[in-house]
Amino acid sequence: MAEMQDVVIIGGGAGGFAAAIRAAQLGGKVTVVESTHYGGNCMNTACIPLTFLLTVAGHVDLARKAARFGIQMDEPKVDMEALHERKDLIVDSLRLGTEQQMVDYGVTLIEGRGKLVARDMVQVDPLPGSSLEQQRIPARNVIVATGSAPAQLPLEGADLPGVFGTEEAIQLREIPGRVAVISSQPWDVELAQYFHAMGSAVTLIHSGDQLLPQADRGCAQRLAKRLHDTGITIQRRADVEGIRQEDDGSLKVLLAGSEREVVVDKLLAARRLSNSAGLGLRQVGIEMEGASVLVDERMATSVPGIYAIGDVTAGAMWSHKANSEGIVAAENAMGLASRMRYDILPHCAFTRPQVAWVGLTEEEAEAQGIEYEVGKVPVAINPYAMILDETAGELKVIACKKYGKILGAHLVAPGAVDLINAVAVAMLAEATIQELMDFIPRHPSIGEALVDAAMDVKKRSLHMPKW
């Protein structure tokens, strides 16, 4: 039998990596069991490659409007093979770096399928074609970090050729003429913009009243308007009844309750579910909610010594969330007392304009009975946004009326995904709206608009029109 480990981590994605490094930093003997690729879904098939594609799309759009900057050039042409070669190089480099970092910290890496056979025992089954034998690893603590897995939508025709998921969409070498996307989640809206920038006619279909349902309503409306203005068709409050294949191979998306239909060449229609099957979780007594593991703010499950992090738990599926949860789980496994702070967890979409938010929306503050004040500034009056020719959007800050505590911020602006980190740090430090107002932003920068929005909370904005 293998040597007793302080922590065995099942899954080497963003959360598993963070947990392994932190446990090793605290002096633990650590083993990571991974069945596919180190770095997980985010690094290999989602966040990293998708953000690269969105960056390419942004460059294409910039080239198309080069004349606005006095630059004359022809319609840009994209070499898809070169594009994907560069994308894969980035992913491969990051994955190798992830593996090497764990090795440098003394973490044992095992390729295989891990599962719990007891509270303190992980069994590793060899992968197909592997020369390794099955082994069992005793563990004082186990962290389940197996992430999520793609799943078909429960729709008639969801298994037809041409219906694909996010991972397949990111790998496409040929851009389809017509694409429909069934979803309102950030990554699907991002893909809708990517395909549109690359020349596809895109229809975005969602069943709710707003895109990005977790976002501030005003932010979602501004993004939807921007998508519409650039030529993306949006079908709101549209439930999909089924998918049919036409004689020419195209796909017909049937919308319930009407005679509306959308005909496309490719259809992005998939979801992700917690990847918990075959791990032996219920057999050792871990409480579940569907496919998701139930945990507390320490990332502890219902079984002492077993933790779970990332997409395998209930809640938002974000890589940075999994990363932070991994640190918390590792610290608790190694005897410290750590807790997650979901109230300062940033959310974002790498759309154009970017959308990012942290903390409470106005509706949530009102539901909690908090008296609040709001400051808002349109991006259009910001000098740097004018220079960039990216003037769509708004920055909103919400603060407690009585104490000035920053309750949340909701940004639709160029650079929003970076700027939201500054607000999250301010909230972590329990800064007040006055302290955010006192901050001196660089000029010119989008950060000036953030400070101006904070000033608008107290109706002291320097740049908003005087009424």
Active site residues: 443
Give the number of C-alpha atoms closer than 13 A to the C-alpha of residue 450, restricted to the C-beta side. Answer: 33
Helix crossing, 14-25 with 80-104: angle to 10°? 30
SS3 of 174, please? coil
Q: Distance between CA atoms of 231 and 317, rounded to whole angstroms?
A: 29
Which residues, in sequence order, are bridge partners of residue 289? 292
Cα separation, 39 vs 354, in Å, equals 25
Tokens of 252: 């017909």
CA 70 to chain centre: 36
- In terms of DSSP H, where are the helices of 185-273? 186-197, 217-229
Measured CA to CA, the distance from residue 346 to residue 356 in angstroms comes to: 7
The count of C-alpha atoms lying within 13 angstroms of the C-alpha of 189, restricted to the half-sphere facing its C-beta, is: 25
Number of H helices, E strands in the chain: 13, 24
Q: Are 211 and 221 in contact (CB under 8 A)?
A: no
